[in-house]
Amino acid sequence: MTQESFDFPVWQSIGDAISGLQVETETVIVKRADIRSFVAHAIAHDRVELVFQPISAAQHGRPVCFYEGLMRIRGADGALISPGLYLPEVEGTELAAALDVAALRQALFALRQNPWLRLSVNIAPQTMGHPDWLETLRRAADQAPDIAYRLIVEITESASLLDLSCARSFFATLRDLGCSVALDDFGAGTTSFRYFREYRFDIVKIDGHFCAGLATNADSRVLVKSLVDIAQHFEMLIVAEFIETEADAAAATALGVDCLQGYLIGRPDKALFDPWALRDTA
Ligand code: G
Ligand code: MN
């Protein structure tokens, strides 16, 4: 692996979209610059999409509380490509912000189409306060203020949150518009408890790596319990990520988690299901 290029398994969608690839038997060597032009092409041609994963209440029959919109790029062969494959190559560049704007547009569209929907979107820390991102949200909120009320903005812990004036004014703008703010992947990053006192997030999502296998891992239970205690003190709604089994769901619920997300509750999907409509027909 060099600075210039890296290897990954043959991947038709990118292979189709980018010309000049060196194809070996099982590996495509793609230059960073090629990935960047692939992403730029996807943005320019409306190929940034969302899939939706439900987050349910931990108790009382586990009704869906909201959905998370997860970014994908529609490849030339129609396959949906996960951000893990291209996000690291655009991190910190204008392209990352442009991807966040494209994902936000999709989220706003889904909120307009589905008046019952509450939806979260992810934003890279460096996109906080980006004029295009804020302008996109403001325009939608001007036309239909309820859309902003139904939007949750997820942000991961990172050094950017330590830029107090930038983060403070960004969160204040979001709150003025009526959006909720979630701290994503809590416990995984550069956790600073200072964030809690400073920002008073509405929701905190406990990193999936602490929650997967919770039922059988006493160490994880101690860590999740302490994260839950902190979040409860600050009156934040607590979501456990990566819940894949009934045993882990029960363990998370017993520790005081409010909501569950993971393959047990539902996999990310193009389709959205109105939980209220389901209830009416039940
Ligand atoms: O960082 P963030 O929480 O936004 O990441 C969500 C990612 O986690 C998505 O890409 C999604 O596909 C993945 N994911 C969601 N639920 C599960 C799960 O139960 N197990 C695992 N291993 N991954 C999950
Ligand atoms: Mn997230």
Question: Does residue 53 carry a pLDDT above 80?
Answer: yes
- pLDDT tens digits, 13-22: 454 444 334 3
Quote the pLDDT of residue 223.
Answer: 94
| Six token digits for residue 236 | 């934040």
- pLDDT tens digits, 181-208: 999 999 887 666 778 888 889 999 999 9
Determine which residue's CA is closest to atom 20 belonging to ligand 1.
242
DSSP per-residue codes, 176-220: HHT-EEEEEEETTSS--THHHHHH--SEEEE-HHHHTTGGG-HHH
For residue 53, which atom of ligand 1 is closest to its CA?
Answer: 15
Closest ligand relative to 248 C-alpha: 1
Mean pLDDT in residue range 271-281: 74
What is the share, in percent, of the chain residues with pLDDT greater than 70?
A: 87
CA distance 75 to 181: 31
Quote the pLDDT of residue 6.
Answer: 40
What H or E segment, with its residue span, contains residue 57?
Answer: strand 48-57
Determine which residue's CA is closest to atom 22 belonging to ligand 1.
242
Please choose, from the candidates 181, 187, 186, the residue with its C-alpha nearest in 3D space to the C-alpha of residue 201.
Answer: 181
Name every protein residue with a CB atom under 6 angstroms from any ligand 1 atom.
53, 70, 82, 122, 184-185, 208, 241-242, 244, 262-263, 268
Q: Which pLDDT band, with edges at 50, 70 and 90, does 165 fall under? A: confident
Distance 209 CA to ligand 1 centre (A): 10
- pLDDT tens digits, 117-155: 999 999 999 999 899 999 999 999 999 999 999 999 999
Determine which residue's CA is closest to atom 24 belonging to ligand 1.
242
Regarding pTM above 0.75, the answer is: yes
Question: Does residue 76 carry a pLDDT above 90?
Answer: no
Quote the pLDDT of residue 277.
Answer: 76
Q: Which pLDDT band, with edges at 50, 70 and 90, does 157 fall under? A: confident
Residue 229, helix vs strand vs coil:
helix
Of the segments 71-75, 80-84, 107-111, 162-166, which one has the largest average pLDDT value? 107-111
> Which of 85, 210, 214, 242 to mutate to test ligand 1, by most ligand atoms within 8 A of the CB atom?
242
Quote the pLDDT of residue 14.
Answer: 53
